Amino acid sequence: MEIGFIGAGKMAGTLMEKVDGYDGARVTAVCDVDEDAAREAAEPREAAAYADHTDLYEGADLDAVVVAIPPFAYDDQVTRAAERGIDVFVEKPVALRVEQGEETLDAIEEAGIVSGTGYVFRYDGITERARELLEDREISLLAGRYWSGLLASSWGNELELSGGEIVTRTTHIYDMARYLAGDVDRVSAASTDRIGTEEIDYPDATTATLEHENGVVTTVSSGVTSPTWTAELDVLGDDLHLHLDYPSQTLTGQVGPEAIDYHAPTDRYGREIETFLEAVERGDPDHVRSDYADALRTLSVNWTVIDAAADGEPAAVGETRRS
């Protein structure tokens, strides 16, 4: 399979290496607005380099394309792939705004192509094991947190370019809440007013309560002033408590009389790319764990949290100013 890349930054580089390691696929075209960056990634792979994605689609014969660009850079990169019947993997967030993503989703669904997205925690071994343990038990409460430092790129400091920390980082925890407990119906949230830093134009700490459609409730906190990385999720239910620690890839807790202590080192990026490429080979959209439509529902939750915190009022998911 011939795979194209739109984006040649750090995340794109990681995903290219995973494609390199997949038997039966190779990177044959790389596009970036920084043509030097595109050429640097393309030349070792004997791939073509482009500075404009329109030229890439016209010049390369692709089976699939991976789009790994900043949120503000989304335009018609994915819709042009769909129009040509090219399967597409989109790094999260899959759009900056929900409305933009809905237009893209229409093109994907009309074309019937395979889509995959970068909600990479779904591919962790601890997530798989947690879903097995929860399969026959009711859950009532999830509590998650994503604490870290500032984003490395300057565009990450501006809400209108990145969606802020919630859209770019804590989105993984919101996505896991949906993956384990189902879709979210309503949100309430509160945030600080840049107590820890003036470099960003959005809150440096936010806490939210999610009401799932099935009655489960989730709390999520996020912050950008931590010197260490924390990405965790606790699950409470019928005679069970599970704790998922994503940095250490460890699952602990108890289910009934059984103590859980499970460590599962996982090449999460390798597994998500492998799964997407398998789906492309099979022509099976259901093989991926997060397609574009599913990722867009997580993005909608993210913006609902942002708006609920700003307005000081609960909000129904899908009824925010930015949806």
| DSSP codes, 13-76 | HHHHHHHHTSTT-EEEEEE-SSHHHHHHHHGGGT-EEESSHHHHHHH---SEEEE---GGG-SS
Which DSSP symbol is given to 269? H
- 283 pLDDT higher than 60: yes
**What tens digit of pLDDT does each residue of 142-172 get?**
999 999 999 888 999 999 999 999 999 999 9
CA distance 148 to 107: 35
**What tens digit of pLDDT does each residue of 96-122 get?**
999 999 999 999 999 999 999 999 999
Percentage above 70 pLDDT, the chain: 98
- 320 pLDDT higher than 60: no
- DSSP helix/strand/coil, 303: helix
- 182 pLDDT higher than 50: yes
**Are 28 and 53 contacting, i.e. CB atoms less than 8 angstroms apart?**
no
pLDDT at 194: 82
Average pLDDT over residues 49-54: 97
Average pLDDT over residues 15-41: 97
Higher pLDDT, 262 or 194: 262
pLDDT at 200: 94
- 319 pLDDT higher than 80: no
pLDDT at 196: 73
Q: Which of 71, 72, 110 is nearest to 91 (CA)?
A: 71
pLDDT at 198: 86
The mean pLDDT of the chain is 95
pLDDT at 128: 98
294: enclosing H helix or E strand: helix 292-311
- 321 pLDDT higher than 70: no
pLDDT at 322: 35
- DSSP helix/strand/coil, 125: helix
**What tens digit of pLDDT does each residue of 190-232 get?**
999 888 788 999 999 999 999 999 999 999 999 999 999 999 9
pLDDT at 301: 98
pLDDT at 88: 98
pLDDT at 69: 97
Q: How confident is the model at residue 47 (pLDDT cuts 50, 70, 90)?
A: very high
Encode burial over 280-295: b for 16+ CB neighbours within 10 A, e otherwise: bbeeebebbbbbbbbb
CA distance 62 to 212: 40
Tokens of 59: 């010049």
pLDDT at 323: 32
Give residue 97's identity as a one-letter amino acid code. R
pLDDT at 263: 97
Tokens of 80: 């042009």
Tokens of 111: 């074309």
147: enclosing H helix or E strand: strand 139-147
Sheet strands side by side (includes 2-6): 48-50, 26-31, 2-6, 64-67, 87-90, 115-117
How far from chain centre, in Å, is Cα 209?
A: 20
**What tens digit of pLDDT does each residue of 121-149 get?**
999 999 999 999 999 999 999 999 999 99
Q: Which neighbouring-strand residues pair with 236? A: 141, 241
Which DSSP symbol is given to 198? S
Domains of the chain: 2-119+271-289 (3.40.50.720), 121-265+298-316 (3.30.360.10)
CA distance 143 to 67: 31
| DSSP codes, 60-117 | ---SEEEE---GGG-SSHHHHHHHTT-EEEEPSSS-SSHHHHHHHHHHHHHHT--EEE
Which DSSP symbol is given to 312? T
**What tens digit of pLDDT does each residue of 77-97 get?**
999 999 999 999 999 999 999
Q: Is the dihedral of CA 194, 200, 201, 207 positive or negative?
A: negative
Q: How confident is the model at residue 253 (pLDDT cuts 50, 70, 90)?
A: very high
